[in-house]
Structure 1
Amino acid sequence: MSHSDAKGTRDALIGQLVYFDEQVSSFLDEYSDSARQDRVKLRKLIERYQRKLQDVTSRNDDRLDESLRSVVLIGSSVKIEFPEDSIVETYTLAFPEHIDPDQNRISFLSPLGISLLLGSIADTVTVEGPGGNYVVHVQEVNFAENAVYAMP
């Protein structure tokens, strides 16, 4: 990753940190159920995400690039396998405002998105979907080169 690419990516990730720092209450109001447990669960996820972003953005360019290929963030493209039928798909995690099913751009708040967020290569995760649970294997992670849709 070139220095200018690293700077742009770092700036985008810092933008996510600032967004969640400044907008967490309104984000929670909009996207969490009024049930206290749901709101607390989402707040904890965002706090864990913020800690990971702080860690990733504090790294030098080489380590930043390594992190962006190993941990799933908002703006990451994630290649996963559905082992039950050996189907392989790639999805990009995005903020809810920027989903695009035709481009496999999914909300990080969707059942699959929540299960993948903060995951790593070689993870096996169980997704709790509305039609039942299923398992996926994370095969590859890349931060999207053009993650303009990663920020609201």
Structure 2
Amino acid sequence: MSHSLLHQDVKLQLVSQLVYFDEEKTRFLDHYFPDHGRERNKVEQVLFVYSSVLEKIVNDFNETTLHSSVIIGSRVKLRYLDDDYEESYTIVFPQQTDAGQNRISFLSPIGMQLLMTKKGETYGLIVPSGEIKVKIEEVAYDNCGQI
């Protein structure tokens, strides 16, 4: 597949995500968060911000913007600052999770914290044992953001 066609496919995936979260957000939230509570409200707010990040990427679509922030379909390589250990995850829709391939849902605790992070930045991830400092070493859209 040519580079141009691949980029068209990627852009189409991102536009499809925007359309999905615009048209199916309520159904999506009802499915994963049937109780109208704090967690659902938090995810709804995250999806609102995520859609604006995605719109910016689509409107200024190029290699730099595509790989600058973690979006659904991105592979993110992070380095744990306490021991320099590196690990990669691909952030996916809930139905695409696969622990064996390090594909984690954007709704998971780690996935939600990594969503919209930026390459080169340092973040504190909240885990059951406390907070772990990580640096986002690489972000690459892995062509797996299809719905």
TM-score (norm 1): 0.88
Where relative contact order (Cα < 8 A, 6+ residues apart) is larger, the structure is 2
Q: Which moved further from structure 2: 132-141 or 43-52?
A: 132-141
Q: Distance in 2 between matches of 1:80 and 1:53?
A: 21
Q: Which amino acid in structure 1 is aligned with residue 99 of structure 2?
A: P
Q: Which amino acid in structure 1 is aligned with residue 128 of structure 2?
A: P
Q: Which amino acid in structure 2 is aligned with residue 122 of structure 1?
A: G
Verify: 1:143 aligned to 2:141, yes or no: yes
Q: Which amino acid in structure 2 is aligned with residue 69 of structure 1?
A: H
Following superposition, the deviation at residue 110 of structure 1 comes to 1.3
Following superposition, the deviation at residue 84 of structure 1 comes to 1.8
Q: Which amino acid in structure 2 is aligned with residue 32 of structure 1?
A: F
Q: Distance in 2 between matches of 1:6 and 1:120?
A: 21
- Which runs of 5 or more structure 2 residues have no equivalent in the other structure? none
Aligned to 2:54: 53
Aligned to 2:13: 12
Following superposition, the deviation at residue 45 of structure 1 comes to 0.4
- Which runs of 5 or more structure 1 residues have no equivalent in the other structure? none
Q: Over aligned residues, Cα RMSD in angstroms?
A: 1.7
Following superposition, the deviation at residue 34 of structure 1 comes to 2.0
Q: Is the 8 A contact 1:111 1:127 kept in 2?
A: no
SS of the residue corresponding to residue 102 of structure 1 reads: helix
Aligned to 1:88: 86
Following superposition, the deviation at residue 92 of structure 1 comes to 0.4
Following superposition, the deviation at residue 135 of structure 1 comes to 2.0
Q: Distance in 1 between matches of 2:127 and 2:38?
A: 18
Aligned to 1:128: 126
Q: Distance in 1 between matches of 2:82 and 2:36?
A: 34
Aligned to 2:77: 79
Identity %: 34
Q: Distance in 1 between matches of 2:130 and 2:68?
A: 28
Q: Which moved further from structure 2: 107-116 or 28-37?
A: 28-37
1:26-41 equivalences in 2 (<5 Å): 26-32=27-33, 34=35, 36-41=37-42
Aligned to 1:104: 102
- Deviating 4+ runs (over 4 angstroms): none
Following superposition, the deviation at residue 58 of structure 1 comes to 1.2
Aligned length: 146
TM-score (norm 2): 0.91
Q: Distance in 2 between matches of 1:58 and 1:12?
A: 14
Q: Which amino acid in structure 2 is aligned with residue 57 of structure 1?
A: V
Q: Which moved further from structure 2: 127-136 or 89-98?
A: 127-136
Following superposition, the deviation at residue 79 of structure 1 comes to 0.5
Post-superposition Cα deviations, 1:8-67, rounded to whole Å, max 9, x if no partner, equal: 11000001111111111111122236252211111110011111111111124xxx2111
Q: Which moved further from structure 2: 31-40 or 15-24?
A: 31-40
